[in-house]
Amino acid sequence: MTSQQEPSPLSGAIRRFKDPNYQNKAPNLQALRDEIDALDAQIVALMAERALCVRDATRFKKDAYQVAAPARQAQVFQKVRNLAAEHAANFPGFENIAESAYRTMVAGFIAAEQELFAQTEEVKS
């Protein structure tokens, strides 16, 4: 039977993992939500820092193909999968989740960088 109600954030756990070595992270759902919110703030701040690097990288590219940089994208996605693999034992499919998130993020950055590229001009030597 499926519940049509969200879990109470302050109640205790109603399920447990079968793995006897599993370590709980928090006493209730609210504590986990608070930690997730704090992590989200850090992730967004890191994304903003990454965005500044992407913006500055625009200065080194001569055309739209170099902005898209498909070979570089492939390197980034493989690197992310490798980094995610180091943490995959604790969450099924984590490599796929990380790669998917990066593919979405990179597509957004490339679209914005194309707009930024239009705001640049060639340096005259």
Is residue 11 situated within a structural domain?
no
Contacts of 1 (CB under 8 A, 6+ apart): none
Q: How far is it, in rounded angstroms, from Cα 9 to Cα 29? A: 5
- Domain of residue 111, CATH code: 1.20.59.10
- 67 in a domain, yes or no? yes
Tell me if 51 sits within 8 A of 109, measured CB to CB. Answer: yes
**DSSP assignment letter at 25:** -
What is the residue type of 37?
A: D
Domain count, the chain: 1
pLDDT by residue for the chain (125 residues), tens only, comes to 787 999 999 999 999 999 999 999 999 999 999 999 999 999 999 999 999 999 999 999 999 999 999 999 999 999 999 999 999 998 999 999 999 999 999 999 999 999 999 999 999 98
What is the rounded CA–CA span in Å between residue 109 and residue 68? Answer: 9
For the question of whether the overall pTM of this predicted structure is more than 0.85, the answer is yes
Range of the domain at 111: 29-117
